[in-house]
Structures are given as C-alpha cells and as structure tokens.
Structure 1
C-alpha cells in the first residue's frame, strides 16, 4: 500500500494520476475528500484530515509499506523549522512504529554547500531529510531547483505589464524543472520496491537558464515582449508579508532566494539521470501561453 500526501496539490495530483494508471493500491491523506474527482475517490482509500495530525497519520500508515511525503505550504508558520520538522513530527514518530519501509519525499538542492546553511526552506528541507533517514526507512529525497510553475504566480504581471520579477540576478544560470517531470520521477520510485538505502535524486530539467534567457523564450512563445526585472530583497519580503506570510517565513523565503543567487542550485553536476525532459520552451508553449493568453 502506497500512502500519498497532498493528492490535490500540483505535484501530488500528478503523482497520484501516474500511480492509478499503474493500478497501484493507494491510500491518500486529504483535508477535504470532496476536492478529489469522483473517479479518483472510487479508486483510492481515503483518510481525511491533515498529515500533520498524529491520529490521521496513525490511521493512514496502518498496513502501508511506502510513503510519498510532501510538506504543504505553511506561510503563517512561526518559524521555518516549525513548517517542516515541526509539521512532520507525527509522521517521523509513526514511521518508527508502523513498519513503513520506503519514503519518497520532496526536498531541495544544496546539501554540503555553504549557501544551504542559511537558506530558509532549503535548510529546513535538508534537515527534514536527515530526520526521515534517521527513522531507519529507505529514503529517496527528490532534490530540486525552482519549479517552472512558480512563474504562474506572476501570470497577471506577465499579461498586463510584460514582465516578471525575482530577487535573483537575471544573469545567474540555474536549473529549473517542470512539475510533470517531478511527478514522473516520484511515481517511478513509489512503484519500485527494489531500492534500499538513502539517496538524493536530483530533478534538474534539461538545461540551465538565466532569467534573462527565460524572458527571451517567453517573448518568442507569447509573441509579445517579456522582460525580467530584478527586485530588491526587501521588496520581495514585504510583498510576502502583504499576502499573509509570517515574518519568519517571509525572511526564510528571501534567504532562500539570496542563496540561489549565490549559487545554491548549481552545486550538483548534471547527468543523464538527473536531467528531465520538459524544456522551458515546451513548458511555456503547453502551460504558460494558455495561462497568459487565456
């Protein structure tokens, strides 16, 4: 039995689709089961509630052998550590008592780099990876750069003003990956009961691009000018605060972006195994263009 968290989120939903296509037995933890399509509800076991709740976790883990673990966004958390290790504590305790053998989790690049020591959610994700491994499970941490889908948060800005922004320099070349590719890697691991031990699995997309290069590709695909604008870190943090983030989480997000600007995501050498197929141009054609042009 595979237990899957965040089945209505972007990564979880796509991973679930792949598991069901393979006819795998799946149990999902979901806050509101009505958000699942009826066809999905008929094919999975459902445990309703938060996967940060010990009672929910105990029910979900009973008889399970594999877990897909993804910490949901908690922008109001009092600290970044609370948002990751704190939220995951019931699951960490339950892994030791319920016999779950394998865990695939969503994490971040940067292990072993000086930038990762003060990188907000990245630092917390890597610490959570260590806690998961310490339970004794076989563990694969999907370590990733920023997602292409993050740009969808700026759809209106791209549409109305022909621009997108970040505190990261426009010249910094970095990997970026599509959520469909993350789900494909996750599902393959969840369906394979032959792997053991603890490893990181980088998911890097097919190429490194700067924001300036991404703006050129977006302009060509959208057939309208799009430019990148670097914004001051204070402005980035203040915008997160305006949208309801706690001080700690807003600062943590800024720390992460500054770490990326200093090379956090460039430490892993790209290989055929870590390169995933969806190019940024293809993603713009399939996802961004419909979103912007409607």
Structure 2
C-alpha cells in the first residue's frame, strides 16, 4: 500500500521506514531536509520535500496515500510545544481527511487518567485530535521505549552510567511498563492492516512493570556497573532535575524537562487488546533484560568511566600543582596592598573545589558525548584545549605566588579566562548545562583577572 511516514529523520521514523519497506509498503516520506534521511534507505523511498506546517506540502505528501504515520512532535525546548503540537495535529488531520487517507497511525505514550504533565497531556491531546479527524486512526500508547538512540533510553542509561550515587525525585518510584523498540516497530507496521472500522487507542508495553529506580539498577547490572546509590527527596522539581540531566547527559534540557515531568505519573497498561488485533511480536514480547541486552550491542557503557578518569586525573594534577605553588601565608603576599573587593581568604578553597568538580563533570561529559556522536575530531580538539587551559591554570599560581609577578600573572589570568570561555563555547553544542558549568569557570577566571590587575596597579612601585 502507499504509505506516508512523517518524522522519518527521528528515532522511531528512521527505524520504521525499513520495516515498512521490508513488509512491501510503497513508502513516501515528508522531509524538510532530505539530506538528513538515513543513507541506508534514502534511495528506496519517494521523498516529498516540505514542512508539515505548510498545507500545500501536506496535500502533496498525502496524495494517493492509504496509510499515514504521524510521528511529529515539537518537544524541542523552543516556545510553547503544546500549542505547536495542537496546530500541527489539527492541520494534519484536516489534510489527511481531504486527501482520502484510509488510516492514520500515531505513536503516543502510556498514561494514567486525570491531570498529566505537559508532555503527556500534549501527546494525549494529539491522539484525540487525530481520532476525531474522520479518518480511522490507531493511537499506539507505548511505555518507555528501550533501544539505543531513543531519548527515553538514552536518559536512563546516561544517568545510570554517569551517576554512581544520586539524589533523585521521589517519583523515581512511579511504575513504568517499558517496551523494546523492536516490539514497538512490530505493532506500528501491523497497525496499517487494521480494519477500517477501528478508530481507537491501544496500550503497548513489555512483560515487566518496574520503577525507574529498578530500571536503573537492572541496567547497571546488565552493563557491568556497580549497584547505584539512589536517595529520593520530595523537593526536586522537574525543572531542577532536567537541568541536572542536561549537565551530565547529552539529552537537551528542552527535551529532558518534559521527559522528567512525565515520570511523575505511572505508565502502565490498562488494556491488552493490541495482541488481539495485531498479534504478538515473533518470539513473544521482549522483557526488560532482553531489550537492554540488545541495546547494549550498539553502545559503550564504559565510555563515560574512561572519559571521567582521564579528565579527573588531569584536573586533579592541576589542583595539586596549584595548591603546592600557592602561598597565601607568605610574607610577600601578606604585605601586598589588596583592593576592597578582595574576597576573604576562606572563600577561595570552596570556590575552587566546586569549580574543579564542575570542570571535571562538564568536560568529561562533553568528551564522552562527542565520541558517542562519532565526532572524534571535536573530542580531540576539546581535549587539547582543556590541556592548555589546565596548564595556564597551574602556571598562574607559580607566576603570582612564586614569581612575585602580578603583571605577568594578570596576563596569564586573562589568557586563562579566554581559554575557559573557549571551553564553554566548545561544550555548548553538547548541552547548555555543560556550557553553563564551564561558563561559571570562565566568569571566575575573569574575576581573577580583574583582581590580579588591581593588585598589580596597587603595588606597581613595590620592589619584588
């Protein structure tokens, strides 16, 4: 049958297209950027260039189509994604009805009844819009999708790999019914064959019902990691939790926030009609351990540990060298005239300790994320820039405290501030949390430059 797939560059869409081709579908994809389509199947499909916000592009893409897969969402951290999703779904529903489409298939999420997070509430609203379109629609409501590359799975694995101990929201103990990506794809393909009279939602989930805490511990065991220490507290909001996710994982905060918010609800199947209408995946539905084992074939759970060890050793050596070279109790430093904004001596140790921890976390995460994205050149350049930065960091203490040279020390501090800002710039493509952490380091180095300069001016006639 003639089949349209929207969102074909996304995780589910890019995996669904080859499954449909193998099942004999004549596939057309709607894409703003055809060059981003996976090369493995790009030449096997008809490409309709356009945007789903353009009615003419939608009409052209839906022409002569029997089944249309709606895999679009606006969860990108820019503006009101709920309103944009509503508008997209309404436009798509009207265009599909006008084009005479026989069926719409939409992938949504498992959810309880009652008030929902913005993310889940929007997914439910989109399903209702499509179900009311006049075109027979199958809304497949899936739990957390387990597969390498899925945003939900990536958040689970990166949090588990990178945080051996964590303070987490209390809703980490909400119940979830995860499902393997292969099983989701099976049901998506079979949904195209549902009878015309079917216009409803179907719950999808694997055989296990687990809390997020249990999922993390089981992932750790399967990935060869030590058990994780997880302490839950009632005060960590989705916004705060998403900022932390954005710092330590490659998940953008605009995506992490709605994902984290959705964990406030149980996500467990209420009905089991999908098997009756669409059968069961070959070999039966995969359990959690099987799905994770499959996903681990495509990821390296030890990459973070290696990156962290490399960065921690370098930052630790820098901190040690700086500590040995610093002499705040020496007679020369005590005799210096200081500006009025000189912080008390007790401030420097906790500030630098916190900054070194931020540098280690943000730099290790940036390097690991770059290598996971096959951007090894970016990772190599970041490592070289970090090495230069740490050399400047340690040398400032030697120039100022041992060399008794405030003017050259000011120059070193300025170079260090510029280098730190460059690290933040390099980290920015891998998450605003990482850039913010390194930006705090750059800001402190900027303050150190001003302070060194002020000391140099106040003591310019002083013999060294």
Fold in common (TM above 0.5): yes
1:208/1:244 Cα in 2 relative to 1: closer, same or farther (>3 Å)?
closer
Q: Aligned equivalents of 1:272 and 1:185: distance in 2?
A: 8
1:292/1:58 Cα in 2 relative to 1: closer, same or farther (>3 Å)?
same
Please point out which of 175, 178, 188 is paired with 1:176.
Answer: 178
1:162/1:33 Cα in 2 relative to 1: closer, same or farther (>3 Å)?
same
Q: Aligned equivalents of 1:9 and 1:165: distance in 2?
A: 32
What whole-Å deviation, never above 9, does each CA across 1:64-101 have from its counterpart, x for those lacking one?
11100012343234324223212223212212211112
**Which residue of 1 is the match for residue 300 of structure 2?**
291
| Preserved contact between residue 144 and residue 153 of structure 2 (Cα < 8 Å) | no
1:43 counterpart SS class: coil
Number of residues of Structure 1 aligned to a counterpart in Structure 2: 283
Q: Aligned equivalents of 2:260 and 2:162: distance in 1?
A: 25
- The root-mean-square deviation of aligned C-alpha atoms, in Å, is 3.0
| Preserved contact between residue 117 and residue 261 of structure 2 (Cα < 8 Å) | yes
**Which residue of 2 is the match for residue 278 of structure 1?**
286
**Which residue of 2 is the match for residue 128 of structure 1?**
126
Q: Equivalences for 1:192-271 in 2 at 5 Å?
A: 192=193, 194-227=195-228, 229=230, 230=232, 232-233=236-237, 234-239=239-244, 243=252, 245=254, 250=257, 253=259, 255-258=261-264, 260=265, 263=266, 265-266=267-268, 268-269=270-271
| Preserved contact between residue 109 and residue 120 of structure 2 (Cα < 8 Å) | yes
Q: Aligned equivalents of 2:161 and 2:260: distance in 1?
A: 25
Measured after TM superposition, the shift of residue 272 of structure 1 is 8.0
1:288/1:96 Cα in 2 relative to 1: closer, same or farther (>3 Å)?
same
What whole-Å deviation, never above 9, does each CA across 1:250-284 have from its counterpart, x for those lacking one?
4x5554332x1xx3x23614578288612221122
| Preserved contact between residue 141 and residue 201 of structure 2 (Cα < 8 Å) | yes
**Which residue of 1 is the match for residue 100 of structure 2?**
99
1:66/1:164 Cα in 2 relative to 1: closer, same or farther (>3 Å)?
farther
Greater share of helix: 2
**Which residue of 2 is the match for residue 9 of structure 1?**
10
| Preserved contact between residue 221 and residue 284 of structure 1 (Cα < 8 Å) | yes
1:15 counterpart SS class: helix
Is there any run of 5+ residues in structure 2 with no aligned partner, and where?
A: 304-464
What whole-Å deviation, never above 9, does each CA across 1:152-193 have from its counterpart, x for those lacking one?
135454334436786453433320112221111001112x16
Q: Aligned equivalents of 2:182 and 2:45: distance in 1?
A: 21
If asked which structure has higher relative contact order (CA below 8 Å, sep 6+), I would say 1
Q: TM-score, normalised by structure 1?
A: 0.83
Measured after TM superposition, the shift of residue 134 of structure 1 is 1.7
**Rg larger in structure:** 2
| Preserved contact between residue 145 and residue 175 of structure 1 (Cα < 8 Å) | yes
2:29 counterpart SS class: strand
Measured after TM superposition, the shift of residue 6 of structure 1 is 1.6
Q: Aligned equivalents of 2:170 and 2:28: distance in 1?
A: 39
Measured after TM superposition, the shift of residue 46 of structure 1 is 0.3
1:194/1:157 Cα in 2 relative to 1: closer, same or farther (>3 Å)?
closer
**Which residue of 1 is the match for residue 141 of structure 2?**
143
What whole-Å deviation, never above 9, does each CA across 1:217-242 have from its counterpart, x for those lacking one?
22331222142634712422445788
Greater share of strand: 1
